[in-house]
């Protein structure tokens, strides 16, 4: 091959042309098997390594292997660079968070800037550093300002509210004193002109009487509204009821500067007497996180203070506005570039992360990488490497060298947007082994088809197809939206599957002649009601249409699909069951036979002649002779027996048509099938019994053939090889010296131990395999009956929905019927979508998936491979943006 020697980049033109041709041809067939992979060694000049890896990342076709798995993450060569990238990413995330907080739209042009040169990293770092610092400073200032603003607003509120308290206190105090005085019964107290004087007099009196300063002190503050009740109780208890608390709610919510939440607060004022109480009250206030504000006692001071607070608040507001403007400007400028920066930083990080996987050459001048690459894309990879070298300005080209390895290469299927969904269905069961037959291309047809057999309804299929078609037509705008709704993403990912399922369901619905459970009469039914007597009309509600009477059955069947006359028949279900069951078995057997044939291609490709002889041939004989024969019987029954046959030919009438299932069971049990005497025989054709014996015995021979042939052949081969090696060794020991003999024996032993499993295990594996296949043939065949069962369930459910819902609207008499129909139709439509299309669709989808995974793939698919995960910027950026949106 071309790549077996270290590659130079100067291919002759002819060689290149040939390569391109090969490339195209094999790429066409690449969905049938995974791409051919090879392990390559890549030597990169230290200075060119960054640019080359960057180009490879854009290409996304190379999977690097970790060459220093035992070196921990902190001891690798480029750990510093990775850390710097992490730091930059953190800053960007901070910026992004701030931008989101302000609701500034981030410009996403979808452009994909190349990974910047390593030296640009410093510029980027400087930019981010500056931005972050600026933003932090602005934020700190804003917070301080806001705190200040909050304090001032609270103070303003306190001054306003306490004014009310003081006013009340003055008025209330007067009333109180008046009451006291009248209790004394003093007659002169009635004179209102002396009131002021008496208050002060009494106060002095009281002061003298108490022997200490009866001066009421007070504190005023603000507290969270929900804390008020507890606060009040605490004060009462701690001060034994000796304090007086007044509170008023602040109506407008205030903004908490640290969290930005809107909180409701209350103003309170506490009157008390004495210093001890004062300290106690202050402590309680502290405990409840109330903010206390100085509040002058004199009304004039208070007024003055209020004025001062008002002007300060106004000043603060202008400053705050300017700060906000500044912050906004900074963020808007950052929002323009942030996506771009993210891409750049993530790319740099990915490149250094990849470089960390490489080995350093002894001379430190060159990095050595090992990577899996698709053989077909070697040309592209070389081109990318050359671009990288040119970009870095290095003179020495990188060297790509193919390596031999005993390891299994990863599985890589070239997919496009159409096939990738089907490939995902297969991959979710198990990644194909390397170069194994890939079931995905066949699934493109069989999956929607088997789905449609279960989902056959023209109307429902049409709804599904329209939905799929809408997603396919608007593919680009919808994909650009990048929704993070998981369910929508599932639907959108499977849009081509949905479209195909819908189209196929329309076809099967047409064949079943079901559109929302009603039938279409396109070609005119083949059945007529004829010659009914007057007495019949009176006595019967059900009339039997005998196919034997020419007037009832026209003799030619409905051109395509189910005759619409069956919709009105009472035995519709019985008739359809027989038809649909047969169809399911026929489809199932064909599907399974196809699977077994696929195993032949696997064996041929891997040159496994032994498996063809001991597995494929008995398997296909077993399946054909028993089950395909049953399918043939069905066709014979369809072609030989008729309902509209005269009494003379009753042997070929419906009465004498044997049951396929009974015939098949009796074929296996070796029993005679009972029949009515007038039918003369239970056979469908001459020599049936003899043929059945033959088929059955040959099929039975296949079981021990499958079970024993392979292990026995392997055992014999090993014995021969062993005998050969023994004689060989004896000869060698006779002719050569001990050293040579030892090395020969050593390598022989190594080879045997490497690829041979013990015979006992081979026997057990083969036994399991055989039992699985033989029993599986029976159970899988029965399993395909789900096609019939779900199809029946779907048809019945849609009929029930029509009769129970829409029919009720149609049966309303007269004009109101139109309005009733309007309402009920909407109800029926939503039920149709939710139950019949969504739920039934999901159930049919899952059953189809099972039929493919278990019944079909178990015949040939190993699924023991592992996925090719190339180093690709696209994948890395996608997953990064996904994980970012999740939390």
- Which stretches of the chain bind other proteins, using CB under 8 A? 518-521, 534, 537-539, 564, 567-568, 803, 806-807, 810-815, 817-819, 821-822, 825-826, 829-830
Name the residue among 797, 792, 801, 855 with its Cα closest to residue 828.
Answer: 801
Angle subtended by helix axes 495-512 and 440-454, to nearest 10: 40
Name the residue among 399, 352, 379 with its Cα closest to residue 54.
Answer: 352
Contact 440, 515 (CB under 8 A): no
When the beta carbons of 102 and 649 are compared against other proteins, the nearer one is 102
When the beta carbons of 813 and 885 are compared against other proteins, the nearer one is 813
Q: How far is the CB of 516 from other proteins (least distance, A)?
A: 8
Three-class DSSP labels, 364-394? CCEEEEEEEEEHHHHHHHHHHHHHHHHHHCC
When the beta carbons of 93 and 811 are compared against other proteins, the nearer one is 811
Q: How far is the CB of 526 from other proteins (least distance, A)?
A: 14
Q: How far is the CB of 806 from other proteins (least distance, A)?
A: 8
Token pair 């709704």 is at which residue? Answer: 485
When the beta carbons of 312 and 518 are compared against other proteins, the nearer one is 518
When the beta carbons of 275 and 813 are compared against other proteins, the nearer one is 813
When the beta carbons of 162 and 517 are compared against other proteins, the nearer one is 517
Contact 441, 415 (CB under 8 A): no
Distances in Å between the Cα of 760 and the Cα atoms of 636, 715, 756, 763 are 46, 10, 11, 5
Q: How far is the CB of 525 from other proteins (least distance, A)?
A: 9
Distances in Å between the Cα of 30 and the Cα atoms of 1, 373, 441, 604 are 19, 15, 10, 17
Q: How far is the CB of 369 from other proteins (least distance, A)?
A: 50
Alpha-carbon gap, residue 829 to 694, rounded angstroms: 56
When the beta carbons of 102 and 137 are compared against other proteins, the nearer one is 102
Alpha-carbon gap, residue 459 to 506, rounded angstroms: 7
Distances in Å between the Cα of 529 and the Cα atoms of 545, 550, 553, 568, 593 are 7, 11, 9, 12, 44
Alpha-carbon gap, residue 106 to 100, rounded angstroms: 8
Q: Extract long-range pairs of 550-554: CB within 8 Å, 24+ residues apart.
A: 550/644, 552/527, 552/528, 553/526, 553/527, 553/528, 553/643, 553/644, 554/526, 554/527, 554/528
When the beta carbons of 397 and 461 are compared against other proteins, the nearer one is 461
When the beta carbons of 740 and 810 are compared against other proteins, the nearer one is 810
When the beta carbons of 529 and 715 are compared against other proteins, the nearer one is 529
Q: How far is the CB of 502 from other proteins (least distance, A)?
A: 15
Distances in Å between the Cα of 332 and the Cα atoms of 111, 143, 338, 728, 869 are 19, 20, 10, 83, 38
Interacting residues of 193 by C-beta distance below 8 A, sequence separation 6+: none
Residues 72-92 as b/e (b if ≥16 CB within 10 A, e otherwise) read eeeebebeebbebbeebbebb
Phi and psi at residue 223, to the nearest 5°: -140, 155
Q: How far is the CB of 808 from other proteins (least distance, A)?
A: 9
When the beta carbons of 388 and 809 are compared against other proteins, the nearer one is 809
Q: How far is the CB of 802 from other proteins (least distance, A)?
A: 8
Q: How far is the CB of 455 from other proteins (least distance, A)?
A: 19
DSSP at 519: P
Distance separating the N- and C-terminal Cα atoms of the chain: 50
Alpha-carbon gap, residue 435 to 33, rounded angstroms: 5
Q: How far is the CB of 530 from other proteins (least distance, A)?
A: 16
Q: How far is the CB of 818 from other proteins (least distance, A)?
A: 3
When the beta carbons of 263 and 520 are compared against other proteins, the nearer one is 520
Token pair 């239970």 is at which residue? Answer: 682
Q: How far is the CB of 798 from other proteins (least distance, A)?
A: 14
Phi and psi at residue 205, to the nearest 5°: -60, -50
When the beta carbons of 532 and 574 are compared against other proteins, the nearer one is 532
When the beta carbons of 534 and 737 are compared against other proteins, the nearer one is 534
Q: How far is the CB of 404 from other proteins (least distance, A)?
A: 60
Count the Cβ atoms, other than its own, within 10 Å of residue 456.
Answer: 27
Q: How far is the CB of 623 from other proteins (least distance, A)?
A: 42
Interacting residues of 423 by C-beta distance below 8 A, sequence separation 6+: 413, 415, 438, 440
């Amino acid at each position: 091959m071309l790549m077996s020697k270290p590659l130079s980049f100067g291919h002759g033109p002819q060689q290149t042309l040939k390569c391109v041709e090969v490339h195209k041809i094999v790429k066409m067939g690449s969905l049938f098997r995974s791409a051919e992979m090879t392990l390559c060694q890549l030597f990169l000049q230290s200075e060119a390594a960054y640019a080359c890896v960057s180009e490879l990342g854009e290409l996304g076709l190379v999977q690097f292997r970790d060459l220093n798995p035992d070196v921990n993450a902190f001891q690798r060569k480029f750990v510093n660079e990775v850390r710097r990238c992490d730091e930059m990413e953190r800053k960007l995330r901070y910026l992004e968070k701030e931008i989101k907080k302000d609701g500034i739209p981030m410009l996403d042009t979808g452009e994909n800037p190349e990974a910047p040169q390593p030296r640009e990293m410093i510029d980027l770092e400087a930019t981010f550093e500056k931005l972050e610092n600026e933003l932090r400073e602005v934020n700190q200032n804003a917070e301080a300002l806001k705190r200040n603003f909050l304090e001032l607003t609270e103070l303003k509120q306190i001054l306003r509210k306490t004014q009310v308290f003081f006013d009340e206190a003055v008025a209330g105090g007067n009333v109180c004193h008046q009451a006291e005085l009248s209790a004394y019964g003093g007659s002169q107290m009635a004179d209102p002109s002396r009131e002021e004087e008496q208050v002060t007099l009494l106060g002095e009196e009281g002061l003298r009487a108490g022997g200490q300063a009866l001066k009421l002190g007070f504190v005023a503050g603000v507290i969270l509204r929900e804390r008020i009740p507890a606060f009040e109780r605490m004060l009462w208890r701690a001060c034994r009821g000796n304090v007086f608390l007044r509170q008023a709610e602040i109506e407008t919510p205030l903004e908490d500067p640290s969290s930005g939440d809107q909180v409701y607060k209350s103003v309170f004022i506490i009157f008390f007497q004495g210093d001890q109480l004062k300290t106690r009250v202050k402590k309680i206030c502290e405990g409840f996180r109330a903010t206390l504000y100085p509040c002058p006692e004199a009304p004039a001071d208070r007024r003055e203070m209020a004025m001062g607070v008002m002007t300060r608040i106004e000043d603060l507001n202008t400053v705050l506005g300017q700060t906000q403007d500044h912050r906004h400007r900074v963020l808007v400028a950052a929002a323009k570039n942030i996506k771009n920066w993210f891409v750049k930083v993530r790319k740099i990080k990915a490149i250094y992360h990849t470089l960390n996987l490489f080995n350093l050459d002894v001379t430190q001048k060159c990095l050595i990488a090992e990577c899996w690459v698709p053989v077909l894309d070697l040309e592209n990879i070389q081109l990318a490497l050359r671009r990288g070298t040119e970009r870095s300005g290095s003179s020495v080209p990188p060297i790509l060298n193919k390596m031999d390895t005993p390891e299994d290469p990863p599985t890589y299927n070239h997919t496009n947007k159409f096939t990738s969904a089907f490939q995902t269905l297969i991959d979710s069961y198990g990644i194909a082994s390397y170069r194994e037959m890939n079931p995905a291309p066949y699934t493109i047809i069989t999956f929607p088809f088997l789905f449609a057999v279960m989902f056959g309804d023209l109307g429902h299929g049409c709804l599904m197809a329209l939905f799929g078609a809408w997603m396919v037509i608007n593919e680009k705008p919808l994909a650009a939206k990048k929704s993070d709704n998981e369910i929508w993403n599932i639907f959108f990912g499977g849009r081509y599957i949905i479209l195909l399922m819908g189209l196929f369901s329309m076809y099967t619905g047409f064949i079943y002649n079901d559109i929302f459970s009603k039938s279409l009469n396109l070609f005119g039914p083949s059945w007529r009601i004829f010659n009914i007597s007057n007495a019949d009309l009176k006595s019967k509600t059900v009339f039997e249409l005998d196919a034997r009477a020419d007037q009832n059955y026209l003799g030619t069947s409905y051109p395509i699909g189910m005759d619409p006359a069956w919709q009105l028949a009472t035995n519709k279900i019985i008739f359809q069951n027989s038809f649909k069951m047969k169809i399911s078995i026929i489809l199932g057997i064909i599907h399974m036979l196809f699977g077994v044939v696929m195993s032949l291609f696997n064996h041929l490709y891997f040159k496994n002649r032994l498996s063809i002889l001991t597995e494929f041939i008995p398997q296909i004989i077993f399946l054909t002779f028993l089950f395909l024969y049953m399918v043939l019987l069905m066709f014979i029954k369809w072609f030989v027996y008729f309902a509209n046959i005269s009494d003379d030919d009753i042997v070929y009438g419906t009465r004498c048509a044997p049951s396929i299932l009974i015939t098949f069971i009796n074929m296996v049990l070796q029993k005679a099938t009972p029949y009515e005497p007038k039918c003369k025989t239970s056979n469908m054709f001459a020599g049936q019994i003899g043929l059945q014996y033959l088929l059955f015995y040959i099929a039975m021979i296949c079981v021990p053939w499958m079970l024993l042939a392979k292990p026995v052949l392997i055992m014999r081969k090993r014995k021969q090889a062993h005998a050969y090696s023994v004689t060989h060794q004896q000869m060698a020991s006779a002719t050569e010296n001990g050293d040579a003999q030892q090395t020969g024996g050593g390598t022989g032993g190594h080879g045997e131990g490497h690829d041979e499993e013990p015979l006992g295990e081979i026997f057990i594996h083969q036994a399991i395999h055989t039992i699985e296949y033989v029993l599986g043939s029976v159970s899988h065949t029965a399993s395909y009956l789900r096609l019939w069962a779900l199809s029946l369930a779907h048809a019945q459910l849609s009929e029930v929905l029509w009769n129970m819902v829409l029919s009720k609207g149609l049966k309303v008499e007269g004009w109101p019927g139109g309005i009733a129909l309007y309402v009920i139709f909407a109800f029926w439509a939503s039920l149709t979508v939710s139950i019949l299309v969504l739920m039934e669709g999901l159930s049919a989808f899952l059953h189809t998936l099972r039929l493919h995974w278990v019944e079909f793939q178990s015949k040939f698919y190993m699924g023991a491979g592992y996925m090719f995960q190339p180093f690709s910027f696209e994948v890395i950026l996608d997953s990064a943006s996904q994980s970012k949106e999740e939390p």
